[in-house]
């Protein structure tokens, strides 16, 4: 089902492990640009057309927005036990993200005042995937840090079902997070509507949230018109395991990501060939009979990999090259390896910290960099919903003390007007 690679230090990663980008498909990029162009030019007409084409839902623009009646019905349909668990998860997520809040600051002395204002972004659009599973946890993970940051207007878009409805758990989660604008639109057309604005869906300042390859490319295309959080691709997990790891647990964790999507990736690195073989056996055993067996099998067969290395430091070298979305340290001394982590979206420490804890409940955000982008992106946080504005104030004396320096630097760059803007104030004395 999954290939096993004997890896020696210095060897290149297998192609299926190293090449995980979603942004190299020119056919996808062309489709994205064409649909975005139509949304910009035709507005709601294009959104309705593509919603019918791709989601098989015939919705008039005046019905894009979810009504209060639909939200009330969602509470009647949703499982009360699920709502109760959702509330407990929300408490953890909110508590974690509140610790990320930072304050504006200004440092004063007799002659200067220098500082930074931290201001919430005015409006944010949250994209919540529909796809093959109702990922209402993404509502919580995107909305709660925006709430904590103080964003005034939070908009949610999500693909409708064929009958034009939204999964009740989506609407309950949105309502519990205080989202007042929810629109039945998904895919490229929803990204375009939020970026450019239509009569039914007013534009936002920033778009956040994961999506499929088309959504990822659409976010890349509209960046600059609006801000984006990151380009999040299919889910992925890397488990590092030693002789003390439980193969059944490792297989279960790998399958927890493989069942997301046929494009998802599940990797194992171990220094024990026996562990590698035992995990492969467990994967075959556990995948059989899963409700999403076909998806999980396809994911493992297309994108899964097991790598056997000589030692744990070599394992960490490869882990940092992979830069996984989720990194599990299922080893005897996980804290000993933690200091070697350089690139990972989230790290799960020890045998009793499975990845689904991060997806739903622990508190840290599950919107994480994928496809190796953990080398330069971070988990979604309160910082993603805040702008930083610098504050500068100089007194007359302080300005006079630095005028010659600033003017000299400006003229060295060939910017005479800059220099004169400094010197004119001294000439007025």
Catalytic residues: 325-326
User: Can you state the angle between helices 80-98 and 168-176, rounded to 10 degrees?
Assistant: 40
92: left (phi over 0), alpha (psi -120 to 50) or beta: alpha
Provide the 3-class DSSP secondary structure of residue 306. Answer: strand
Would you state the structure tokens that stand for residue 93, as one six-digit string? 């997520």
Which residue's structure tokens are 């990029």?
29
Q: Where are the beta strands (DSSP E) in 130-286?
A: 153-158, 181-184, 206-208, 227-228, 236-241, 265-270
Residue 90 to residues 94, 147, 157, 218, 382: CA-CA distances in angstroms? Answer: 6, 12, 20, 29, 15
- Residues with Cβ within 8 Å of 9's Cβ and at least 6 positions away in sequence, in order, are 309, 310, 314, 317
Q: Where are the beta strands (DSSP E) in 191-264?
A: 206-208, 227-228, 236-241
Q: How far, in Å, CA of 284 to CA of 254, rounded?
A: 12
**92 burial class (0-12, 13-18, 19+ CB within 10 angstroms)?**
middle
Query: Is 2:301 a contact under the CB 8 Å cutoff?
Result: yes
Q: How far, in Å, CA of 423 to CA of 425, rounded?
A: 5
Q: How far, in Å, CA of 152 to CA of 67, rounded?
A: 20
- Render 225-236 in DSSP notation, one character per residue: TBEES----S-E
């Amino acid at each position: 089902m999954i290939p096993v690679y004997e890896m020696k230090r210095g060897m290149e990663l297998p192609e299926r492990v190293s090449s995980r980008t979603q942004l190299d498909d020119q056919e996808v990029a062309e489709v994205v640009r064409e649909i975005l162009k139509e949304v910009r030019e035709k507005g709601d007409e294009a959104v309705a057309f593509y919603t019918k084409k791709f989601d098989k839902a015939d919705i008039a623009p005046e019905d894009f927005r979810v009504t209060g009646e639909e939200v009330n019905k969602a509470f009647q349909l949703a499982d009360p036990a699920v709502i109760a668990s959702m509330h407990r998860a929300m408490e953890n997520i909110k508590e974690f993200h509140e610790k990320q809040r930072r304050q504006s600051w200004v440092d004063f002395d007799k002659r200067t005042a220098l500082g930074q204002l931290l201001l919430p972004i005015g409006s944010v659009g949250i994209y919540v995937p529909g796809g093959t599973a109702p990922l209402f946890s993404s509502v919580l993970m995107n909305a709660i840090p925006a709430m904590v940051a103080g964003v005034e207007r939070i908009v949610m878009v999500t693909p409708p079902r064929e009958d034009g409805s939204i999964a009740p758990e989506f609407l309950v989660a949105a309502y519990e997070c205080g989202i007042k604008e929810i629109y039945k639109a998904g895919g490229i057309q929803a990204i375009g509507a939020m970026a450019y604005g239509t009569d039914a869906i007013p534009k936002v300042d920033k778009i956040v949230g994961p999506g499929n390859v088309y959504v990822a490319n659409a976010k890349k295309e509209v960046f600059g018109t609006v801000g984006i959080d990151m380009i999040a691709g299919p889910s992925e997990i890397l488990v590092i395991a030693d002789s003390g790891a439980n193969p059944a647990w490792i297989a279960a964790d790998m399958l927890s990501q493989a069942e997301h999507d046929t494009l998802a990736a599940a990797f194992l690195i171990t220094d024990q060939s026996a562990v590698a073989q035992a995990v492969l056996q467990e994967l075959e055993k556990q995948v059989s009979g899963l409700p999403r067996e076909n998806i999980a099998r396809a994911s493992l067969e297309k994108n899964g990999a097991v790598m056997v290395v000589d030692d744990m430091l070599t394992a960490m070298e490869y882990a940092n090259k992979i830069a996984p979305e989720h990194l599990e340290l299922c080893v005897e001394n996980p804290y000993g390896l933690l200091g070697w982590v350089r690139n990972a979206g989230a790290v799960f420490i020890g045998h009793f910290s499975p990845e689904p804890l991060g997806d739903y409940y622990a508190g840290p955000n599950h919107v994480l960099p994928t496809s190796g982008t953990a080398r330069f992106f971070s988990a979604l946080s309160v910082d993603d919903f805040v702008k930083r504005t610098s504050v500068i104030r100089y007194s007359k004396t302080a300005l006079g003390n630095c005028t010659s320096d600033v003017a000299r630097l400006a003229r060295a760059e060939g910017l005479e007007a800059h220099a004169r803007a400094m010197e004119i104030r001294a000439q007025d004395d």
